Amino acid sequence: MESSDVTNQLFKAMETVVEAKISRLNTTNSRTGVVYEDPQGFQVKVQVNNQILECSLPEHLHDWISKDDVVTISDLYGNGQSLVVTGSIGSTRAESLVINDESKNRLVGGVHKIEDDTGLNDGEFAFE
């Protein structure tokens, strides 16, 4: 056997070992889902495809995330053991209030869930 053949086989063996090791790595990954029901404290249920996942909800998102919001979920360890909602990217609700800053010529904020004192949205909004 020529030395170039031995070298090629050695490289192929090393490539096989590296690929096997990489395939077993657990890395953080993200998914998108819809909040299934209003959050309860630090827990929220999110529907991803046809599966309901229990996720942690960080404190800074408690007032921002609600039922029907489209959210991103991070799988911290890549094995499904620690799922965390990292933000909202919209809502499936038809009603929303969007704020346009004409001086910046762009949208600068918005609200996807609007309720009155009873928690019901009757379609009427009053601003003071």
Closest CA to 87 of 69, 108, 112, 113: 69
Pick the range with the lowest mean pLDDT from 11-15, 23-27, 83-87.
23-27
Per-residue confidence (pLDDT) for residue 105, from 0 to 100: 87
Per-residue confidence (pLDDT) for residue 128, from 0 to 100: 42
Closest CA to 35 of 83, 78, 76: 83
List pLDDT tens digits, range 68-87. Answer: 899 999 998 888 889 999 99
Q: Among 3.40.50.300, 3.40.1160.10, 2.40.50.140, 1.10.630.10, what is the CATH number of 29-91? A: 2.40.50.140
Domain ranges for the chain? 29-91
* pTM exceeding 0.85: no
